[in-house]
Structure 1
């Protein structure tokens, strides 16, 4: 997908190219869990080969390392299940970006069910008590998984300082039962930002994808994406 003169930073354009080549980012007609009919679909679970993981972890690490004001954190927390490999590979990649700054960063993730033998517990990896924690996940749709992760971190005595996801779809949250589907609403990321008062970063956004499509001259997919964005634009 990457154009010869991409309008995006290298880590974003390389990742977008990898995503389209692997079928992780696809264009067409897709019915989402919310019932919305989307002109594109993103599945980070398909980025499982060594080369693709390198692109993904590099993009995550660059996004965290270059965020201003600089983030200070001790642990990357990956919510089960998709967040688990992300937390591990991004932790390693951060050390290659800046070992002095990130060489002591650890990862942690939760089990879905509490271990009933050995040392017990629901966490694997670093303990969270007294640690500054960043949640790492793929996509935030309704924010439910993030709220569950926040509850775990708080229960374990950690301090949440930021959240980072692979993609921000930049669309309003699906309506809850009884709500008007056409009523204005925030995005999942906007709601989480407001609720917890912390930075919520995205490696890629809908705007990034559309900029790349425009640079490639892909007018058909760009128009469909633009129509979708207008229909589900959030208030934040």
Structure 2
């Protein structure tokens, strides 16, 4: 998800195609499910995206392809990748591998939750953090993980520059248990100053459901649309 007005019609069409393919892939993989799920904010959501279910080599490799294609199409510049513990570690590594396969080889690093007191020690593993750093994660609910990553990156003397996520839920964040009129993605972009690249958004999911021939797609579309009307942001 980059600023839409910055795209040409051809770029927008390619983005839309990639997003629809990703939503289809997520549904087929059982990663994107429909029903009734309680979110961290205590909301009852009609859909649930669990990137932890990209749980074999083929799925993870395909996921990395979507990340890499979205990043290259976004035009976002970066010098290295950082994968925050824990989900960001395999995601960041897989994306780094796929980017290298496509001719864009960049360093990769990640953090541990617990510091080692032997060997190289510390909480950081991999390439030294330097330059413009891209943070790779699955979704962004409250922006907490991103803020933690920003602190780690800045402490190492590097620049947190952008974030890549799989799905932008495009819904209001919560602060102190109350809804606020911005999403976590908007907060990271507008308040923290980082660029954000999302493979797909809630709008893309609604588009998929409106054209899908899957059983129950119409009912799911209405439920997701009602959820967006209640909790969504532009």
| TM-score normalised according to structure 2 size | 0.88
Among candidates 7, 19, 22, match of residue 12 of structure 1: 19
SS in 2 for 1:138: coil
- 1:152 corresponds to: 152
Q: How far, CA to CA, are the matches of 1:94 and 1:215 in structure 2?
A: 31
* Cα distance between partner residues in 2 of 1:54 and 1:13: 18
Partner of 1:232: 231
Give unmatched runs, 5+ long, in structure 2: 1-12
Could you tell me how far 1:8 is from its partner in structure 2? 6.6
- Paired position in structure 2 for 1:207: 203
Between the aligned partners of 2:160 and 2:185, the Cα distance in structure 1 is 15
Aligned length: 219
Match in the other structure for 1:79:
84
Correspondence 1:124-139 to 2 at 5 A = 124-129=125-130, 131-139=131-139
* Aligned residues: CA RMSD: 1.8
- TM-superposition CA deviations, 1:91-134 (whole Å, max 9, x none): 0111222x1xx12x0111001011100121211111113x2100
Contact residue 114 and residue 122 of structure 1 kept, 8 A: yes
How far 1:9 moved relative to its partner?
4.3
Paired residue for 1:172? Answer: 172
**What residue is the counterpart of 1:187 in the other structure?**
183
Tell me how far apart the structure 2 counterparts of residues 7 and 220 of structure 1 sit (CA, whole Å): 28
Tell me if the contact between 2:18 and 2:199 (Cα under 8 Å) persists in the aligned partners. no
For residues 34 and 119 of structure 1, what CA distance do their matches in structure 2 show? Answer: 38
Aligned equivalent of 1:46, options 41, 53, 56: 53
Q: Are 1:37 and 2:47 counterparts?
A: no
Instruction: Verify: 1:27 aligned to 2:34, yes or no.
Output: yes
Cα distance in structure 2, aligned partners of 1:86 and 1:198: 19
How far off its partner does 1:18 sit? Answer: 2.5
Equivalent position to 2:193, from 197, 200, 204:
197
Q: Which moved more, 1:212-221 or 1:12-21?
A: 12-21
Partner Cα separation in structure 2 for residue 17 and residue 170 of structure 1: 19
Ranges in structure 1 where 5+ consecutive residues have no aligned partner: 1-5
Partner of 1:3: none
User: Contact between 1:7 and 1:215, CA under 8 Å: does it hold in 2?
Assistant: no
Question: Distance in 1 between the 2:16 and 2:181 partners?
Answer: 30
Q: Report which of the two has the higher share of strand.
A: 2
Provide closer, same or farther for how the CA distance between residues 186 and 9 of structure 1 changes in structure 2, counting only shifts above 3 A. Answer: closer
Q: 2:76, 2:181 → 1: CA distance?
A: 29
